Every structure is written in C-alpha cells, then in structure tokens.
Amino acid sequence: MAKLQGFEFWKKTLQSAKYILAPMVEQSELAWRLLSRRHGIQLCYTPMLHAQVFLRDANYRRENLYNDVSPEDRPLITQFCANDPEVFVQAALLAQDYCDAIDLNLGCPQMIAKRGHYGVFLQDEWELLERMIQLANEKLSVPITCKIRVFPELEKTVKYAKMLERAGCQLLTVHGRTKDQKGAQTGVASWEHIKAVRDAVSIPVFANGNIQHLTDVQRCLDETGVQGVMSAEGNLHNPALFEGCSPPVWEMAEEYLEVVQKHPPCTLSFVRAHLFKLWHHTLQIHQDLREELAKAKNLAGLEEVNRQLKQRCQEEMAKDESERHQTGLPFPHWICQPYVRPPPKDPSQENEQKTPQVKAVCMKRALEDSDSSNDPLSKNKQKKKARNPHKNFCPELKPKYIKCEQCGNPKGNKCVFNLCRGCCKKKAFKEVADCPGHGLKFKTKAQKQENSTNGEQVNGNGSIQPEPCTALPDQPAAQTLA
C-alpha cells in the first residue's frame, strides 16, 4: 500500500485531527494521553525520544514506547530528537510499527538541546535537515513530520518551511515563538508567522502557542487558517481545555490517578509532576500540601494528598465569597485554569535582591544561553570572571616563574637541580640521586637495597643494625629439641 502524503495523510490516517496534544518530555506519557483523549484531544504525540539512545538501548525502547502504547491511543505520532540522518532513520525504523508518523523535533530551545545539538539549534543547518528528512521520507513506511520554531524574520521562516516541505515533510507544526523566547522571556507567540507559513505551503499545518482557553483555539483557527491547534502548557493545567470546561482540580486528579492504575507501569515522578501542574494555584494557598505531595512514595500517598486537598477546597467553597482566599485569578483557585507567567522584572532591581551565589548562577546561565559574544574571552573564562571579577587572564600580567633549565616549565621551588618535577625525576633516576624538594629518594632506596644484600636491616628511624646472631660468640649453638 502506497504511503499517504500531505492532506490525504491528515484526513485518513490522522482523521482530520483538529485538537492536538503536544509532545512533552516526561509529561505526555500514555496515561496522560488517554486522559486528554477523554476530554477532546484527537491526536497525541509521544514524549520526545532521543534517537541515538533509542537505537542502542533496548530497555529505553521498551520503557518509552513499546510498553507505553495502547489500541485506544491512536492516532499517535512518535517524536525524536536527532542530528545524524542515519541514526535518526534507524531509530525511526524501530518505532514506525507502533505509531502513525515520525516527527523530527526542531523546536526544543532548552540548554540540554543546545549541548546535544538538536531541536531548535539545528534550524540554521538547512542542508543537514534536508538530508535527514529526505532519507526518512525514502526509508520509512510512515510519513515524516516536523515541529519547528520561527525565525524573527517572517520571510526567513517561510523559506525554512518551504525547504522542509520540499525535502519530504508531510505535516508541519509551527510554534510561533523564536529560539530565545523561553522561560521568563517566553512572551506571546506570533500567529502572523504561523499564518504566513500556512499560506506558503501545500501541506497541513498545526499551530502552537497562546492556547489557554477554548476561545483561543477557535480564534487561532480563524486567524491563521491552520488545520489544527496544539496545546502543551494549557493542557497540563486543564486537560479539559478542548471541551471548553474548567472542572475542579481534584476531579481531574482523581480521574488521572484512575487511568494510571489501569495502565501501569507509570513512573511516579511523572504522576507527581502532573499533579503539581494541576494543583499549581491551590498549592500557593495550601503550601503544606506541597510538601506532602513531594514526600509521597506511592499512588496511595498521592491519592491521600488529593483527598486532603479536596476536603479543604470544599470547606472553602462553603464559605461566603468575601471569606475566601483572594488570588486575583479569573476563577477560584480550585478550578482548572492556565498559569500565566509574570512579565520579566527590571534586571537592576532583580539583581539587588539576589545573593552572590544566585547572581553567579544567573550569570553562568546567561553566558550559556548566549550564542555569541563580543567578549574576547572564551565562555569558560567568562564564567570564571563572573565568579571572580579580579581574576587576571592577561599573560603579560601573570606572575613570572623561574623556568626549568631543560624544558622551560616552571621549576620546583626547592629542587636541588633547578628543574621541574618531570626533568628532575629523570635526572635523579639516571644519577641515582635524591631531591627532597620533589620527594625523590633514588639514592636512599639504592643504599637500603645494598645494605639489605649485605645482611643488614634498617630500623624505622633510618639507623642500620646488624643481622641477629643465632649463637653467642665462642659458645656452641643450643641443640634443637626433638
């Protein structure tokens, strides 16, 4: 059977999916995908998998894909991060029987992606990406898709999308933020960039970014003309987002824990992380439950924390509105709703409130995040200078050392030969000499060895004593008893 492409693939295989759950590391596991499907999600992605690890490690394959699928969980797309065409394709070949398409992650902006050289940090290597997608399109029995971030320049973003389409990409997900829009600098996603891509390509496009309520979903579809809308953060805080409802947080938690029990195994850290997201606003009020949640050792412990949270919230619901905790949120804190990141603070005021240790860490991260710098020092030296502003890297101003007479390295301060340790060791060994400055005792050891061969022993204090006699002088030795 011929491989479906483009819109035919979207309509038949993906069943014209319009509401999509984003691929999230350690957050879009099977249990969460099934919960999300109950509440309106039509297409799911696996968490991002590392192609090289997936290829070499059978346990990684079982834990992250083979044992994490279900007939109820389709259509499903498996996402990989990779930077080598052969490794990517070989990993995808091992995964293609468990999903409906393979997605290449070109959008991850985190430091781990920068160090591993994948995700959004490949977006300038167009020749490499073209080879990866072409090879995958030729070898795989399922379509290849991509998830990207935009460039600041709209025209460059459009050219980028067209290049991926020409290479063989059958569906494109566009996150309307740039590489630098992350963390405190996340900001608002550009739907203008997403619309420009949708107008320029002839394959289906999904939009990602700014989705907090169902009204945002419809507005995004209308303004961009995309085929589907993807949610990540919005879904984590409210899995019923695409249903257009906001249930109490304990109801979603109860339902999620029920799904986890029906579809084991599910790593406890994944479950705990989901509950932290669901309960984010409520845990600002009941901070002692945050500690209880962190200490829970099993599902029963998590269920008990949820029971306590439910009881406290219901007691607060029974009070008059004036007596409830005032949070400034659109809904009461026990209702599923998005978390909106606060805008970045003034750097000068923010720095004043930080300890020297925190300032050094922030400086280190800032240096790691920067792709280029006008500072002539290397990034490693910049980090050292951030920790110690008085550190000197100028060779002319560094203290002068007396050089070894043979190799030019700094000599030992107490070396009897005026040499460095390496040269001193060679000379002392050759000449059978001692150098107390470097702790070398070739002469002393030679003397000890010579004395031992002459029948003498050396005391612990270094003095030599004669070998003990077996009989007194001028007297016969004692007879041995039978």
Q: What share of the chain in percent tops pLDDT 70? A: 84
Token digits for 17? 């999916």
pLDDT (tens digit per residue) in 408-461: 788 888 888 888 888 898 888 988 999 998 989 999 988 888 888 776 544 544
pLDDT (tens digit per residue) in 118-143: 999 999 999 999 999 999 999 999 99
Average pLDDT, the chain: 87
C-alpha distances out from residue 103 to 50, 106, 112, 265, 293, Å: 12, 9, 19, 25, 34
Q: In the CATH hierarchy, which top-level class contains the domain 6-244?
A: alpha beta
Which among 294, 242, 229, 263 is positioned nearest to 29, based on CA atoms? 263
Q: How many CB atoms lie within 10 A of CB 438?
A: 19
Least confident of 39-53, 84-98, 169-183, 406-420: 406-420
Structure confidence at residue 375 as a pLDDT band (50, 70, 90):
low
pLDDT at 366: 55
Taking residues 300-320, report their average pLDDT. Answer: 94
Of 108, 146, 404, 420, the catalytic one is 108
Structure confidence at residue 478 as a pLDDT band (50, 70, 90):
very low
Specify the higher pLDDT residue, 265 or 110: 110
Specify the higher pLDDT residue, 181 or 470: 181
- 334 pLDDT higher than 50: yes
- 368 pLDDT higher than 70: no
Structure confidence at residue 469 as a pLDDT band (50, 70, 90):
very low
pLDDT (tens digit per residue) in 25-84: 999 999 999 999 999 999 999 999 999 999 999 999 999 999 999 999 999 999 999 999
pLDDT at 183: 79
pLDDT at 328: 85
Structure confidence at residue 388 as a pLDDT band (50, 70, 90):
confident
pLDDT at 348: 56
* Cα first-last separation, the chain: 100
pLDDT at 185: 80
pLDDT (tens digit per residue) in 187-212: 899 999 999 999 999 999 999 999 99
pLDDT (tens digit per residue) in 218-268: 999 999 999 999 999 999 999 999 999 999 999 999 999 999 999 988 899
HSE-up (13 A, CA, CB side) for residue 154 = 12
The set of residues, in sequence order, having a beta carbon less than 8 Å from that of 39 and lying 6+ positions away, is 239, 240, 241, 242, 243
What gap in Å lies between CA 186 and CA 174, rounded to an integer?
Answer: 15
CATH number for the domain formed by residue range(s) 399-446? 4.10.830
- Bridge-based pairing state of the strands 464-466 and 456-458: antiparallel
The set of residues, in sequence order, having a beta carbon less than 8 Å from that of 430 and lying 6+ positions away, is none
pLDDT at 356: 60
Q: What share of the chain in percent tops pLDDT 90? A: 65
- Ranges 42-46, 356-360, 381-385, 470-474, most confident: 42-46
The set of residues, in sequence order, having a beta carbon less than 8 Å from that of 393 and lying 6+ positions away, is 377, 381, 385
Q: Does 108 participate in catalysis according to the annotation? A: yes
